[in-house]
């Protein structure tokens, strides 16, 4: 798959989902939801201050009657109600609106009323389209896991693999990104990468080809792999990029979106439903594609 618009096309071909939006009062969120509703991908329930939601929608040229609006002016209460809608079965997946990320995540993680099962791990997955790579890039984790452990990385690969399968990639290729291709005991990320690669070889990680440690240039360029005399089924053809920590991942993703004309879709995995989590400054388009990705996963 080359373009994020293809994800939206997949959504249109399946049964429509119901989206629950936490505190959806900002123009970009309203614009994205309206696009998804008008494309017949979702029905939307928005929690928040009804008057503000209706005004923002009208200012955007959107008819607010296309949404179901639940009037809850308080941010925390709106986030909790949005989660409750999913938990009760009225909605299939969740989206963050104008509420703070910490408020949104606390509602998801709430032990009594949240969306977590015992032993689950939340992880953020970003799917990016850039003009210079022949397919979509699936990245993790740019926003949630600060310093993922080996155990965390196994789950991250699993979540990314699930998304790749939903996108029609039968056997995705995962690159465990490090600064070098050789194991160095002084660089813990290379040790994790080697273990993950061997775990995949032995069938402990399924549905995906895993290789690492791989530097980024090798992961995206067969020529670089040849120059370095590196034989790899993943080199130059990676679908999935597992980054060693949040600093590396966040810089990589922002480099692609800010300097390489990248378009993105982003979702939090590991809860009982997909949870859209984008920046409050992201465009209508990014939020629309994120809705499409989460709808496809739900």
Tens-digit pLDDT profile for residues 127-176: 999 999 999 999 999 999 999 999 999 999 999 999 999 999 999 999 99
Longest dimension (CA), the chain: 63
187: tokens are 């660089």
pLDDT band at 278 (very low <50, low <70, confident <90, very high): confident
Structure tokens at 66: 């296309």
So where are the chain's domains? 5-119+271-297, 123-259
Query: At a CB cut-off of 8 Å and minimum separation 6, what does 149 contact?
Result: none
Point out the least confidently predicted range of 61-70, 249-258, 280-289: 280-289
Count the neighbouring beta carbons within 10 Å of the beta carbon of residue 151: 10
Sign of CA dihedral 48, 141, 208, 290: positive
Query: Do the two domains 5-119+271-297 and 123-259 of this chain adopt the same fold?
Result: no
Residue 279 pLDDT level (bands cut at 50, 70, 90): confident
Q: How far apart are CA 22 and CA 35, in angstroms?
A: 17
Q: Collapsing DSSP states into helix, strand and coil, what is residue 115? A: coil
Residue 72 gets the label, from left (phi > 0), alpha (psi -120 to 50) or beta, of beta
Residue 208 reports pLDDT greater than 70: yes
Could you give the CA distance from residue 183 to residue 185 in angstroms, rounded to a whole number? 7
Domain 5-119+271-297, classified CATH 3.40.50.10950, yes or no: yes
Q: pTM, whole model, 2 decimals?
A: 0.95
Please name the residues in contact with 254: beta carbons below 8 A apart, sequence gap of 6 or more.
none
Q: So what's the pLDDT on residue 118?
A: 87
Contact 239, 220 (CB under 8 A): no
Tell how far CA 222 is from the center of its chain.
Answer: 27
CATH superfamily of 123-259: Isopropylmalate Dehydrogenase (3.40.718.10)
CB 155 within 8 A of CB 269: no
Closest CA to 109 of 83, 142, 86: 83
pLDDT attached to residue 280 = 66
């Amino acid at each position: 798959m080359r373009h994020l618009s293809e994800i939206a096309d997949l959504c249109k071909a399946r049964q429509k989902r119901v989206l629950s939006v936490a505190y959806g009062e900002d123009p970009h969120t309203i614009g994205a939801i309206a696009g998804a509703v008008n494309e017949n991908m979702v029905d939307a329930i928005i929690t928040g201050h009804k008057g503000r939601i209706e005004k923002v929608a009208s200012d955007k040229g959107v008819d607010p009657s296309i949404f179901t609006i639940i009037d809850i002016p308080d941010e925390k209460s709106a986030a909790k109600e949005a989660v409750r809608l999913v938990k009760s079965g009225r909605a299939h997946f969740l989206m963050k609106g104008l509420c703070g990320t910490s408020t949104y995540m606390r509602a998801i993680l709430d032990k009594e009323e949240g969306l977590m099962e015992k032993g689950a791990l939340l992880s953020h997955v970003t799917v990016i389209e850039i003009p210079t790579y022949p397919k979509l890039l699936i990245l993790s984790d740019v926003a949630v896991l600060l310093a993922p452990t080996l155990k965390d990385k196994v789950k991250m690969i699993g979540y990314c693999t699930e998304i790749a399968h939903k996108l029609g990639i039968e056997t995705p290729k995962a690159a465990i990104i490090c600064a070098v291709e050789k194991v160095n005991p002084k660089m813990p990320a290379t040790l994790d990468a080697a273990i993950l690669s061997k775990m995949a070889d032995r069938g402990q990680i399924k549905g995906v080809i895993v290789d690492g440690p791989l530097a980024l240039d090798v992961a995206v360029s067969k020529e670089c792999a040849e120059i370095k005399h590196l034989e790899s089924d993943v080199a130059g053809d990676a679908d999935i990029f597992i980054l060693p920590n949040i600093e590396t991942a966040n810089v990589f993703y922002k480099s692609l979106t800010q300097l390489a004309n990248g378009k993105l879709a982003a979702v939090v995995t590991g809860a009982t439903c997909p949870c859209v989590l984008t920046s409050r400054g992201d465009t209508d388009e990014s939020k629309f594609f994120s809705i499409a990705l989460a709808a496809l996963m739900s």
